[in-house]
Copies of this chain bind each other. A is one copy, B any other.
């Protein structure tokens, strides 16, 4: 498929500076683009690359001087996404219908247009919406409810009773609804606490691979509408995450913590249990959050503190030996001065 730059501009609601007739057939980075590619500039760090790129055109956020045709629009990264979808679309799933080699309970209900592959298990009382794609090795437990247009990638496991909204994507080898980590100590042993909550995943959520979301001990664990979770994430029992949060990857949130909407939690961050994170909060990579965080705050470091202080404070650890030396020198000067 080829599109002129003019057509692309129309598609994303932008305008062209330069030759609007050039034909584009794919997307690429500024560095690796060829004449047939459109690229984008969203990060000012790469502004120099605009001068040397071999791209056929570049999407930018504002008018600027460049040796290539520009597609100027409000939100270059989003426009790039729209154009990438136009050229490449998303993964297509082979329509195998309902495989006779899948194991589907007679009491399960399967919606219209579903694809259920070999070696998938759909247990008693499960309800699968329309146009759901279930890959091999997926396990959908008793009474699980899966909304419309969901995709469950190979070997994803959904324990009994969990709820998935519409348009939910669960990647390979991920576990949803595993028992919460709850054990009561008594005379030197630990006793398993029944985990009677569920995991409820709202609409438009994508969950990465090799991630685990625990069910709640007493109340449900909730992943809000539009949240995007990465890989190797560990979500504790009864955690509640508001809509439209980004949880990047390889991070952990302990039980019963509540997170607002539109938060960003970077890789390898950890959040203790039973605290409250506000809305629009940003938590840096490897941060260790041990207290409530109010709306709009950005924290980094372990223990996590406001980003305005943190970068400088943590960078100064390097200077500690030097500081100690200075203090000793001062002490000696004072001693002499006496």
Complex: A29 Cα to B255 Cα, angstroms: 14
- A334 at interface, CB cutoff 8 A: yes
Chain A stretch 158-208: residues in CB contact (< 8 A) with chain B = 159-160, 171-175, 178-179, 181, 183-186, 188-194, 196, 204, 206, 208
- Indicate which residue in B118, B171, B318 contacts A313 across the interface (CB closer than 8 Å): B318
Chain A stretch 92-119: residues in CB contact (< 8 A) with chain B = 94, 101, 103, 117-119
- A281 at interface, CB cutoff 8 A: no
- A210 at interface, CB cutoff 8 A: yes
Q: List 12 A-B contacts (CB under 8 A).
A: A81-B192, A137-B139, A157-B209, A188-B262, A230-B234, A231-B234, A268-B268, A286-B288, A303-B315, A312-B320, A313-B321, A316-B321
- Residue on B nearest A186 in the bound complex, by CB: B78
Complex: A85 Cα to B193 Cα, angstroms: 7
A119-B137, A154-B157, A196-B84 given; A232·B210 CB < 8 A: yes
Complex: A228 Cα to B321 Cα, angstroms: 36
- A302 at interface, CB cutoff 8 A: yes
- Indicate which residue in B154, B188, B190, B234 contacts A121 across the interface (CB closer than 8 Å): B154
- Check B321–A320 contact: CB distance below 8 A: no
- A49 at interface, CB cutoff 8 A: no
Top 7 A-B pairs, shortest CB-CB distance: A139-B154, A175-B209, A157-B172, A81-B184, A250-B252, A212-B231, A316-B320
> Copy number in this complex?
3
- Check B210–A175 contact: CB distance below 8 A: yes
Chain A stretch 232-273: residues in CB contact (< 8 A) with chain B = 232-234, 236, 244, 246, 248-250, 252, 254, 262, 267-268, 270, 272
- Check A309–B318 contact: CB distance below 8 A: yes
- Check A185–B78 contact: CB distance below 8 A: yes
Chain B residues positioned under 8 Å from A302 (CB to CB): 286, 302, 314
- Check A32–B94 contact: CB distance below 8 A: no
A176 to chain B, nearest CB (A): 9
A88-B194, A181-B230 given; A137·B155 CB < 8 A: yes
| Chain A 58-78 interface mask (CB, 8 Å, partner B; 1/0) | 000000000000000001011
Chain B residues positioned under 8 Å from A208 (CB to CB): 178, 181, 212
- A28 at interface, CB cutoff 8 A: yes
Chain B residues positioned under 8 Å from A178 (CB to CB): 153, 171-172, 208-209, 231
- Check A267–B267 contact: CB distance below 8 A: no
A139-B136, A248-B181 given; A312·B321 CB < 8 A: yes
- A285 at interface, CB cutoff 8 A: yes
- Check B250–A234 contact: CB distance below 8 A: yes
A193-B84, A288-B286 given; A78·B267 CB < 8 A: no
- Indicate which residue in B142, B171, B173 contacts A179 across the interface (CB closer than 8 Å): B171
